[in-house]
Amino acid sequence: MKRKAFIGSLLVGAAAGSVLNSCAEPKTNTTNMDTSLSKETIVHSVYFWLKEGITAEEEKDFLNFFTTLSKIEGIKELKYGKPAPTTPRPVVDNSFSYLLLITFNNMDEINVYENHPDHLAAIEIYKKYWTKVEVKDAILM
Burial status of residue 20 (CB atoms within 10 A of its CB: 0-12, 13-18, 19 or more): exposed
- Does a structural domain hold residue 67? yes
Q: Do residues 21 and 70 share a domain? A: no
Question: How does pLDDT run across 76-113, given as a tens digit for each residue?
Answer: 999 999 999 999 999 999 999 999 999 999 999 999 99
Q: Do residues 90 and 114 share a domain? A: yes
- Does a structural domain hold residue 37? no
pLDDT at 140 over 60: yes
SS3 111: helix
Q: Do residues 66 and 132 share a domain? A: yes
- Does a structural domain hold residue 57? yes
Quick check: 21 and 110 in contact, CB under 8 A?
no
Q: Do residues 24 and 55 share a domain? A: no
Question: How does pLDDT run across 26-60, given as a tens digit for each residue?
Answer: 443 434 434 568 889 999 999 999 999 999 999 99
- Does a structural domain hold residue 111? yes
Q: What Å distances lie between residue 35 and 29, 30, 76, CA to CA?
A: 12, 9, 12
- What residues have CB less than 8 Å from 70, skipping those under 6 apart? 78
Q: Do residues 86 and 20 share a domain? A: no
Per-residue model confidence (pLDDT) at position 15: 40
- Cβ neighbours, 10 Å, residue 130: 19
Domains of the chain: total: 2
Per-residue model confidence (pLDDT) at position 37: 80
Per-residue model confidence (pLDDT) at position 113: 98
pTM as predicted: 0.73
Domain hosting 72: range is 42-139
Average pLDDT across the chain, whole number: 83
Q: Do residues 27 and 75 share a domain? A: no
- CATH code, 89: 3.30.70.100
What are φ and ψ of residue 49, in 5° steps? -110, 110
Q: Do residues 58 and 27 share a domain? A: no
Between CA 132 and CA 57 the distance in angstroms is 20
Q: Do residues 16 and 47 share a domain? A: no
Q: Do residues 82 and 62 share a domain? A: yes
- Does a structural domain hold residue 106? yes
